Amino acid sequence: MSEKLQKVLANAGVGSRREMEKWIEQGRISVNGHVATLGDRVENEDQIRVDGRLLNRVYQKQICRVLMYNKPEGELCSRKDQQGRPTVFDRLPHIQNGRWITVGRLDINTSGLLLFTNDGELANRLMHPKHEVIREYAVRVFGDVDQAMMNRLRKGVKLDDGEARFLTIRPRSQDDESVNRWFDVTLAEGRNREVRRLWESQDVRVSRLIRTKYGDLELKKRLPQGGWVELELDEVNALRKSVRLAPETESIVKERKNKLDHVRISRMRRSIKKHNVSKKKDTPE
């Protein structure tokens, strides 16, 4: 049984399916000594190389793992930055097989819930618009917002890359005289800077943006910024079920050791502080 090359690479934890399609187009993948092209299918016995390195197909049988990370503002959603700026990968735990893949992205000025997985197919499905995985954000805006504006944003407005809309907009209770107002908004897709661009289309400026939910997963309230926690088996399988993937049967997480108790949070905060100090020393002036 043959499978699409990009799917095999994603299942092996090399990256998301979309990312693998780009790598194939860039000529970074070969099959049996020949540079691969989009549309290629592979059999189990085929030899796949990534940047000249032989792919270990055993990776496909790895345990599906998912991390929840509380991203601070100022971090990039890339593996490396030529300017030496901090990235979301700097704090993640080492992984033996495959690598961590981001489930979507948050821009440098956005904080909150960011998921990582070693399962490329899970990452691809969670990001793909056809699965309509709901993202929820808390957003603080500067400017006058009335009911007519909220109706327009729910109905849909024209952006540079097509029509977009919020599924829901819920104002938070607050001081009516404040120039900054908080809203909870939801989307069923993750286009680049979509939340900000939607508000900007109404001449309203976003002054703070926090992702609070991805699907049914809510950012854990006690998880400090810059901290991560690995999801337990039931949480992983809830994600997998939401995008019609078979349940995982194993987990490396020991439930009692994974709780965000006072001791673990204190240890996490110390580690984050130490990392920030070290990163600041390494950053060129």
β-bridge mates for residue 111, sequence order: 210
Q: Please, are residues 219 and 70 in contact by the beta-carbon 8 Å criterion?
A: yes
Annotated catalytic residue 107: yes
* Active-site annotation holder among 107, 161, 234, 261: 107
Q: Measured between alpha carbons, how far is residue 258 from residues 247, 261, 268 in Å?
A: 20, 9, 12
Phi, psi of 188 (to 5 degrees): -110, 15
Residue with tokens 């990256």: 15
Cβ neighbours for 271, distance < 8 A, ≥ 6 positions apart: none
- Measured distance CA(183)–CA(266) in Å, rounded: 31
Task: Count CB neighbours of 193 within 10 A.
Answer: 16
Q: Please, are residues 162 and 128 in contact by the beta-carbon 8 Å criterion?
A: no
Q: Please, are residues 48 and 29 in contact by the beta-carbon 8 Å criterion?
A: yes
Determine the number of helices (DSSP H) and then strands (DSSP E) in the chain.
7, 17
Phi, psi of 76 (to 5 degrees): -95, 145
Written as six digits, the tokens of 192 are 């680049």
| Helix/strand/coil for 83 | coil
- Measured distance CA(143)–CA(116) in Å, rounded: 35
Q: Catalytic residue numbers?
A: 107
